[in-house]
Amino acid sequence: GAVVSQHPSWVICKSGTSVKIECRSLDFQATTMFWYRQFPKQSLMLMATSNEGSKATYEQGVEKDKFLINHASLTLSTLTVTSAHPEDSSFYICSASSFVGTSGGFNEQFFGPGTRLTVL
Partner 1 sequence: GDSVTQMEGPVTLSEEAFLTINCTYTATGYPSLFWYVQYPGEGLQLLLKATKADDKGSNKGFEATYRKETTSFHLEKGSVQVSDSAVYFCALSGLGGGADGLTFGKGTHLIIQP
Contact residues for partner 1 (CB under 8 A)? 4, 32, 34, 36, 41-46, 49, 59, 93, 95, 97, 104-114
For the CB of residue 62, give the shortest distance to partner 1 in the complex, in Å.
11
Nearer to partner 1, 14 or 60 (CB): 60
What is the CA 14 to chain-centroid distance, rounded? 21
Examine residue 113 and say whether the peptide bond preceding it is cis (omega within 30 degrees of 0).
no
For the CB of residue 117, give the shortest distance to partner 1 in the complex, in Å.
16
Nearer to partner 1, 6 or 78 (CB): 6
Nearer to partner 1, 75 or 114 (CB): 114
Q: Which of 78, 83, 53, 54 is nearest to 68 (CA)?
A: 78
Q: Which of 75, 82, 98, 61 is nearest to 23 (CA)?
A: 75
